[in-house]
Structure 1
Amino acid sequence: MTGTPSPAAAERVASLHVTKGHGTENDFVLLDDRDGALDLSGPLVRALADRHAGVGGDGVIRLIESSRVPEGAAVLAADPSARWFMDYRNADGSVAEMCGNGVRVFAAYLERLGLWDPFGGELAVGTRAGVRWVRRIPAAGVSSADDVPWYAVDMGPWSLLGGPRAIEAGYDAEVAVVGLAEVRPALGVDVGNPHTVLALAGQAELDAADLTRAPVVVPVPPHGTNVELVVPLGEGTGPDGVVVGRVRMRVHERGVGETRSCGTGACAAALAVRAWAGDGAPDVWLVEVPGGTVRVSVLPGGHVELAGPAVLVADADVALAALGA
């Protein structure tokens, strides 16, 4: 049994079986609670995610049947095949709508457990941002670890929070980042969760930013925001003749701090740079993050796709008493 046991079972359960995984070094603790028997409390999430006294991770992902969570009704109405729900929690214990790297790792976890055959078709995953569809694809040849499986996720609809006026102005928010000399204009992007993207002049500014402290965003987003700092790197032509844009990014995730990667943040960064570039900008972008590279593709119908690796690195049994949660 995994997670926090019910009071009746507390005396019988001494350990917690977990799996550790990451997508471009955005790392997670995964729990198998498919029958919904567990109470995944904030203190337990924080204890598991603690990098000194726990397993360590940017978040905790619980596998549970969609029918066993309140948000599952909407998920199953949208796609009855979305049997499995990705219950994602930030490292501070707060609940999050979605995680682009996390959903790829979740798909790899379901594959490991025998709950999804990637050669049998797409996987429909329930999330608090709606259904996400995942397929396994060949590695894109953008890293040294090309033997690691890649997963492509239809991340659903996206939008620029400020609408046409923000596109015309080029921004709809201002962000103060420790280490940067002045307040910067930024663009709000919704990819199922909120993001604020600001462009920097080059690598020196990207290196100078101190993301150990949360950037200050004005106006203050009602539910918080992830903040991406991006450096556009131009465009090139891929082997298939498709024009591909490139950006480099660092991110401060709400409820976590700076992470090595953020999947929804990579989507937001590419979409913001594409908006700034105007008509004729590429629909495919490679986004470089400290933990590797992911690919973002703008799809027909107002959707965006995220593709990248997912790695399961360890299984462990954690002593519940030692967690102190």
Structure 2
Amino acid sequence: MTSLDFTKGHGTQNDFVLLDDSDGTLPVKLSDDVVRFLADRRAGLGADGVIRVVRSIEVEEGRRVLESEPGATWFMDYRNADGSIAQMCGNGVRVFAAYLEQLGLVTFVPGVRVPIGTRAGLRTIEKIGEWFRVGMGEYSFPAPAEQVALGADSSVAIRGLSGIGGSDARPALSVDMGNPHTVVALASLEDLAGIDFTAPPAVEPVPPHGTNVEAVVPGPQIIDDRGHLTGHVTMRVHERGVGETRSCGTGACAAALAVRHWMTLAGVGAGVDDGRDAGASSVPDAWLVDVPGGTVKVEVEGRNVYLSGPAVLVAAGQVELP
């Protein structure tokens, strides 16, 4: 049997097994079977995903990041619980940052953004207090402009949720955050609590690479302590390759962006966000997103999105691989 050193961490209860391969001496190949064992909540350690710390130069996608940003020394090699490779994870990248800090590989200085490589491209991380703020890159609405202008390009049927107008499905909007998301709006927190995410939602048309599905309920806007208008969303998420999780960072970004877009279409602000501009000024650019595992903050600056939230390392040890 092979022993493997690990660390366990979570971001708003989206949890991960973390592996240090910073010197290239990980004793096993990170195969689908190894990932599934580590993520198994009964036979293994239990996690929503597995994250390997590796030098960007050692990974093809990391070498591409280094071409534009030579300072992106470290690469987040992220796998879903079923072993499938994922492009990005907003909660995972914060936990990755906390792990880099614990390993002594990165020192976070206030006001300085640290570049890292991911399969979704370059990401930046800075530490603000006890939270990490991640530059998530640019978002997009991948559907044709005429569908984006209508606020929906697909439909989603979720067990336990009745449709509208006699259909089992509800209209939804696709959002690309480096990985695919489909966001569907619900009328109330009671509706949100009543849905059944033990079965994957049925999305039409079927996305070619699967999708994460966010069910969201917009809440009342608030004025923060700096006098800024802040939106509010409550969400649950079904992640591709995992199932329902307690949180999803890229999903929180997608949820805020979809609600922000719908608000603009509804005339809350002047003009229409057609996926190419930042939306009307009276629509919030800052959002608090409540998930079952806590709260994160999403900020929109032009086409770029920033995600802030906690990251906690809870345990470390050795596991014997069968």
Give the TM-score, by structure 1 length.
0.90
Which shifted more, 262-271 or 31-40? 31-40
CA distance in structure 2 between the aligned counterparts of 1:168 and 1:256, rounded to whole angstroms: 31
Letter in 1 for 2:19: L
Report if aligned partners of 1:167, 1:276 keep a CA contact under 8 Å in 2: no
Per the alignment, residue 21 of structure 2 pairs with 33
Cα deviation, residue 170, structure 1: 1.3
Per the alignment, residue 294 of structure 2 pairs with 292
Structure 2 spans left out of the alignment, 5+ residues: 164-168, 270-281
Per the alignment, residue 228 of structure 1 pairs with 214
- Give the 3-state SS of the residue equivalent to 1:71 in structure 2: helix
CA distance in structure 2 between the aligned counterparts of 1:58 and 1:169, rounded to whole angstroms: 34
CA distance in structure 2 between the aligned counterparts of 1:22 and 1:165, rounded to whole angstroms: 39
Structure 1 spans left out of the alignment, 5+ residues: 1-12, 139-148
Report if aligned partners of 1:107, 1:123 keep a CA contact under 8 Å in 2: no
CA distance in structure 2 between the aligned counterparts of 1:14 and 1:270, rounded to whole angstroms: 43
Match of 1:129 among 117, 120, 127: 120
Superposed CA RMSD in Å reads: 1.1
CA distance in structure 2 between the aligned counterparts of 1:276 and 1:197, rounded to whole angstroms: 11
- Does 1:85 pair with 2:80? no
Cα deviation, residue 37, structure 1: 3.8
CA distance in structure 2 between the aligned counterparts of 1:282 and 1:71, rounded to whole angstroms: 34
Per the alignment, residue 9 of structure 2 pairs with 21
1:104-150 per-residue CA deviation (whole Å, 9 max, x = no partner) reads: 00000000011111117321110000010000002xxxxxxxxxx20
CA distance in structure 1 between the aligned counterparts of 2:38 and 2:63, rounded to whole angstroms: 29
Q: How many residues align?
A: 298
Match of 2:254 among 251, 257, 268: 268
Which shifted more, 257-266 or 113-122? 113-122
1:48-71 per-residue CA deviation (whole Å, 9 max, x = no partner) reads: 000011111000000000000111
Letter in 1 for 2:71: S
1:210-263 per-residue CA deviation (whole Å, 9 max, x = no partner) reads: 001100000000000000000000211011000000000000000000000000
- Give the 3-state SS of the residue equivalent to 1:161 in structure 2: coil
Give the TM-score, by structure 2 length.
0.91
Which shifted more, 63-72 or 88-97? 63-72
- Does 1:277 pair with 2:263? yes
1:88-116 per-residue CA deviation (whole Å, 9 max, x = no partner) reads: 00000000000000000000000001111
- Does 1:168 pair with 2:149? yes
Runs of 4+ in structure 1 deviating by more than 6 angstroms, as ranges, are none
Q: Give matches, 1:104-115, under 5 Å.
A: 104-115=94-105
Cα deviation, residue 78, structure 1: 1.8
CA distance in structure 1 between the aligned counterparts of 2:114 and 2:16, rounded to whole angstroms: 20
Q: Give matches, 1:243-262, under 5 Å.
A: 243-262=229-248
Letter in 1 for 2:116: V
Letter in 2 for 1:152: R
CA distance in structure 1 between the aligned counterparts of 2:174 and 2:285, rounded to whole angstroms: 19
- Does 1:313 pair with 2:309? no
Report if aligned partners of 1:122, 1:134 keep a CA contact under 8 Å in 2: yes
Letter in 2 for 1:133: T
CA distance in structure 2 between the aligned counterparts of 1:208 and 1:161, rounded to whole angstroms: 30
Q: Give matches, 1:163-242, under 5 Å.
A: 163-182=144-163, 183-242=169-228
